[in-house]
Structure 1
Amino acid sequence: MPNAIQIQVADSHLYPGCAVRIADLPVAAGAPDLAEARVEFADGSGAHATCHLRAHDELELTVDRYATQKRHPIDARHWLLLAVDATHHSWRVKRRLP
């Protein structure tokens, strides 16, 4: 995934309120509707994901199944993230989506 968006999570898993950092999210007009992403968790684990910019400040993130560094399995989940700043670098998980 050489052109995948890099997403950094402040914990070993996602949950409502969790801080997320995205350095280079393509938010300009003409950006792809659905983008490949690589999620890096604070414990060193990682997962493949896809993201979709739903509105200017809302991002849908679908994270594939993965295991934390302590080998705790985390099922695939779908999340709604909200931008915390105008640069779209800092985000917070708002809620889990069905």
Structure 2
Amino acid sequence: MSDSIQIQVADSHLYPGCAVSIAHLPEPARAAAAIVEFADGSGAHATCHRRAPDELELNVDGYATQRRHPVDARHWLLLAVDATHNSWRVKRRLP
């Protein structure tokens, strides 16, 4: 894992239906380090990899929101919203 992928989240935490923006995707079938930036200014480290052209797995480390609410580490499935693969939505939480 070399360069970090920048991920912008439209809220202070991830949940099904949440909008996510990703400027540059990881290469298929290769894990990449990511920095997740939440709308409230908080952030977390993560690892992501593409399962399919329109599917992305995201493992987010635990973090605290700006209001100091702790959020546990979680594993998510994201689906592409458009053909550019810049806009994504959280589909569901993975085990």
Q: Same fold (TM over 0.5)?
A: yes
Amino acid of the structure 2 residue aligned with 1:97: L
Residue of structure 2 in register with 1:23 after alignment: 23
Residue of structure 1 in register with 2:6 after alignment: 6
Count, aligned residues: 95
Residue 97 to residue 32, structure 1, CA distance change in 2 (3 Å):
closer
**Equivalent of residue 36 in structure 1, options 24, 33, 38:** 33
Counterpart contact for 2:16–2:92, Cα < 8 Å: yes
Q: Are residue 68 (structure 1) and residue 70 (structure 2) matched? A: no
List per-residue Cα deviations over 1:53-84 (Å, max 9, x = no partner).
Answer: 00110000000000000000000000000000
SS of alignment partner, residue 62 of structure 1: strand
Contiguous gaps of at least 5 residues in structure 1: none
Residues in 1 aligned to 2:58 and 2:24: alpha-carbon distance in whole angstroms: 15
**Please, what TM-score do these two structures have when normalized by structure 2?**
0.95
Contiguous gaps of at least 5 residues in structure 2: none
SS of alignment partner, residue 11 of structure 1: coil
SS of alignment partner, residue 14 of structure 1: coil
**Please, what TM-score do these two structures have when normalized by structure 1?**
0.92
- Structure 1 moving runs of 4+ over 2 Å: none
Amino acid of the structure 1 residue aligned with 2:68: R
CA shift for structure 1 position 2: 7.5
Counterpart contact for 2:34–2:46, Cα < 8 Å: yes
